[in-house]
A = this chain, B = another copy of it.
């Protein structure tokens, strides 16, 4: 029979993060984490599959929030509205009181290349699940991929800014700013592409590898 320890999961998560910060992720054992809050290794493994899981189970919930927001959107929602709903859900997922945790978690991940890889894979999976949810809502390819990648780009960039030193704005406000930046950047890039194309048209004999010269 599984004994339920009230609050054990949160206590283990906090204890793990503190130990990872203090002595490094690799140097910390599950036994140490559990003992530091008066619990056993067995209790730890009832809550988390391994040492990494305390850092990454939130990403599964975040992924679900992206997918749910798409699934729950009104029947006639446009791709733009579906992505906006997912971004709103992501902003709700990270209220101000979560910022300190997110900053410390980032510090642990940046210090450990295998954790960085895990983070990359988790975000890539989130984007894939988001794309799939958009397709299920009738957004055809390649538009579903464009919409999902744009949405997760905005989230990723805004999140990075949200946890930056001294940043105090809400994630929703930072996302709004990043959205505007993405629009400007994409427009400039698109304009640049057209210039290049026009230039190519004007001088068809120009070497095609020019851009790398």
Contact = CB atoms under 8 A, between A and B. Distances in A.
Interface of A: 68-69, 72, 79-81, 83-85, 87-89, 92, 116-117, 120-121, 123-125, 127-128, 141-143, 145-147, 149-154, 156-158, 160-161, 164, 175-176, 178-183, 185-190, 192-194, 196-197, 208-209, 211-212
A176 to B, nearest CB: 5
A164 to B, nearest CB: 8
B92 A146 contact: no
A178 B189 CA distance: 11
A192 B128 contact: no
A207 B186 CA distance: 33
Nearest to A149: B153
A160 B185 contact: no
A68 B212 contact: yes
